[in-house]
């Protein structure tokens, strides 16, 4: 039986406008980066997606290489779209990306027109869609002219294969240049997706300012620093943790200094009646230019816990100052 969506799904979610566009996004979006593919049961993935939609999460973030293996996340999500969510396609924002290695040879990576448009066609086939709502250039290409990469995004819009152009992992200057090229073509930049968290504040060094100046919005990934900003590692490294299995997080990343800072932040969170993860999510959403934070989930329970952050108490100036002190020296005043 196809899924029957919760009729109250939009009652409590406070949607936010993406820059100067007409698009509204939920403050938390579901990312299918590392938790969707052949390594996890289809029914588990299905349950997470459907529960997210029932809670008002309308945006699902993918990329051509998400899995494992690459492409699997789009295939699994396409299955869910074709069955349970077929009747709700127009209520859902689907985004995908191209920019990292996807197939061998000189045309399966980075930012050429050939790669970006070929990859989008492949993504659409895996998803079973005629178009995606948002198509990203996943990372800047140091060798391909930016005019070519942005021109490919414009062509994708003109072909009806995407509605909005977006970029990810761009620095401040390239963000400004990309936004200018897209605006000149009549297709303003919608989103920039940088890595941003309490443990990685690099976007504050010009990227967020460039995004705001372009009239776009930031939608951030890894807001929980691959799990470091959860209670997962406060007492050591569990045997079944991501640090034991992931290529993106290693035991060497979990330093005594970071654990001390996480524990101090956890104390602040508990004082607010929150988990550390909920505090970390609310912190990245504190600035208006950040329209949404992308969260992963390995279970429905984890998803539910993180969604609580949407309704957490606003961070006060004193709490923000205390957080900064924790990040500076790992202790509270």
Q: What is the CATH number of the domain that holds 131?
A: 3.20.20.100
Residue 245 is predicted with a pLDDT of: 54
- Whether residue 126 is contained in a domain is answered as yes
- Whether residue 265 is contained in a domain is answered as no
Q: What is the pTM of this model?
A: 0.94
- Whether residue 259 is contained in a domain is answered as no
Residue 213 is predicted with a pLDDT of: 98
Instruction: Write out the DSSP string of 234-296.
Output: TT---TTSHHHH-SS--GGGS-HHHHHHHHHHHHHHHHTT--HHHHHHHHHTTSTTEEEEEE-
Confidence of residue 236 (pLDDT cuts 50, 70, 90): low
- Whether residue 280 is contained in a domain is answered as no
- Whether residue 10 is contained in a domain is answered as no
Confidence of residue 248 (pLDDT cuts 50, 70, 90): low
Q: Kind of pairing, strands 93-98 and 16-17? A: unpaired
Find the helix or strand (DSSP H, E) in which 191 lies: strand 191-193
Tell me how far apart the 2 most distant CA atoms of the chain are, in Å. 57
pLDDT higher than threshold 60 for residue 246: no
- Whether residue 112 is contained in a domain is answered as yes
Cβ count near 158 (within 10 Å): 12
pLDDT higher than threshold 80 for residue 257: yes
* Rounded Cα distance, 244 and 331, in Å: 28
Q: How far apart are the first and last CA of the chain?
A: 56
The strand pairing partners of 31, in sequence order, are 61
Q: What are the helix and strand counts (H, E) for the chain?
A: 11, 10
Summarize pLDDT for 90-128 with one digit per residue, the tens. 999 999 999 999 999 999 999 999 999 999 999 999 999
Residue 332 is predicted with a pLDDT of: 58
- Whether residue 178 is contained in a domain is answered as yes
Mean pLDDT of 78-93: 97
Residue 237 is predicted with a pLDDT of: 59
* Rounded Cα distance, 217 and 211, in Å: 6
Summarize pLDDT for 266-320 with one digit per residue, the tens. 999 999 999 999 999 999 999 999 999 999 999 999 999 999 999 999 999 999 9
Provide the domain count of the chain.
1
Residue 293 is predicted with a pLDDT of: 98
- Whether residue 64 is contained in a domain is answered as yes
pLDDT higher than threshold 60 for residue 224: yes
As to burial, measured by CB atoms within 10 angstroms (0-12 exposed, 13-18 middle, 19+ buried), residue 188 is middle
Confidence of residue 252 (pLDDT cuts 50, 70, 90): low
The proportion of the chain whose per-residue pLDDT surpasses 90, expressed as a percent, equals 86
The strand pairing partners of 60, in sequence order, are 30, 94
Q: How far is CA 251 from the centre of its chain?
A: 23
Domain residues for the domain of 194 are: 16-224+287-314
Residue 113 is predicted with a pLDDT of: 98
């Amino acid at each position: 039986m196809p899924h029957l969506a919760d009729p109250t799904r939009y009652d409590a979610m406070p949607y936010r406008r993406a820059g100067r566009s007409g698009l509204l996004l939920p403050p938390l979006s579901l990312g299918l980066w590392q938790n969707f593919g052949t390594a996890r049961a289809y029914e588990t993935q299905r349950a997470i997606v459907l529960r997210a939609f029932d809670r008002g999460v309308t945006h699902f973030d993918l990329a051509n290489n998400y899995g494992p293996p690459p492409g699997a996340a789009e295939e699994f999500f396409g299955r869910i779209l074709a069955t349970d969510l077929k009747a709700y396609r127009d209520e859902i924002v689907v985004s995908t990306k191209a920019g990292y290695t996807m197939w061998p040879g000189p045309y399966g990576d980075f930012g050429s027109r050939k790669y970006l448009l070929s990859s989008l066609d492949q993504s659409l086939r895996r998803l079973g869609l005629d178009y995606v709502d948002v198509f990203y250039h996943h990372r800047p290409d140091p060798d391909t002219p930016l005019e070519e990469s942005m021109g490919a995004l414009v062509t994708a819009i003109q072909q009806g294969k995407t509605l909005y152009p977006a970029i990810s992992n761009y620095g401040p200057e390239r963000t400004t240049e990309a936004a200018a090229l897209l605006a000149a073509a009549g297709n303003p930049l919608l989103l920039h997706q940088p890595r941003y968290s309490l443990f990685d504040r690099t976007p504050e060094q010009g990227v967020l300012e460039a995004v705001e100046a372009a009239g776009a919005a930031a939608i951030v990934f890894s807001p929980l620093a691959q799990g470091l900003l959860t209670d997962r590692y406060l007492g050591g490294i569990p045997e079944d943790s991501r640090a034991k299995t992931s290529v993106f997080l290693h035991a060497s990343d979990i330093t005594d200094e970071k654990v001390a800072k996480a524990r101090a932040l956890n104390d602040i969170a508990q004082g607010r009646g929150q988990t550390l993860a909920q505090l970390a999510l609310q912190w990245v959403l504190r600035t208006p230019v950040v329209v949404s934070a992308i969260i992963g989930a390995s279970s429905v329970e984890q998803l539910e816990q993180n969604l609580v952050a949407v309704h957490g108490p606003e961070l006060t100036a004193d709490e923000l100052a205390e957080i900064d002190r924790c990040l500076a020296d790992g202790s509270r005043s």
